[in-house]
Amino acid sequence: MICPCQNLQANPVNYEKCCKPYHDGLIAKKAEALMRSRFSAYVLGLCEYLKKTWHISTCPQPLELEPDSQWIKLDIISVSNKQVHFKAYFKEDSEFKYLEESSNFIQQDNKLVYLDGKTKVGTAHQNRNDFCLCGSGKKYKKCCAQ
Ligand SMILES: [Zn+2]
Ligand SMILES: [Zn+2]
């Protein structure tokens, strides 16, 4: 299975070689790996993993995942030691939207965890040469753009 965080990328990596090791207990040392594994956990509904990687002061209690949010794709825009700027795409009604966030990560008990982030939501704009967000595996220009 293609890793959810690699979905619709040009050269996707399998889940086993991407986020699964983290979900199985490997500690993510880099902010990007942690961010990717948390996105995949949202897609796969791994609530426990999300709690484990969320700072105790900001983790919602109880943490409930929305069962019908359909996450499609993750684009990492920029990364530093303690911050990841990304766009995560999802489908709502019949519209493609994105959630853009600059996430902050922090050390807790010698582990990097998610602290908080600034988010905004907007309507997704697709580039003609990107894989279409509908998931057809075709480029947008040869798919829903027509
Ligand atoms: Zn992954
Ligand atoms: Zn399409």
CATH topology for 4-142?
Nuclear Transport Factor 2; Chain: A, (3.10.450)
Q: How confident is the prediction for the chain on average, in pLDDT?
A: 95
- Structure confidence at residue 111 as a pLDDT band (50, 70, 90): very high
Q: How far is the CA of 46 from the centre of ligand 1 (A)?
A: 13
Q: How far is the CA of 144 from the centre of ligand 1 (A)?
A: 26
Q: What is the mean pLDDT of residues 6-18?
A: 95
* Domain extent listing, the chain: 4-142
The 10 Å CB-count burial string (b at 16+, else e) for 21-32 is ebbeeeebeebb
Q: How far is the CA of 129 from the centre of ligand 2 (A)?
A: 12
Q: Which residues contact 1 (CB under 8 A, 6 or more apart)?
A: 14, 15
Q: How far is the CA of 99 from the centre of ligand 1 (A)?
A: 18
pTM, 2 dp: 0.94
Q: How far is the CA of 127 from the centre of ligand 2 (A)?
A: 12
Q: How far is the CA of 61 from the centre of ligand 1 (A)?
A: 26
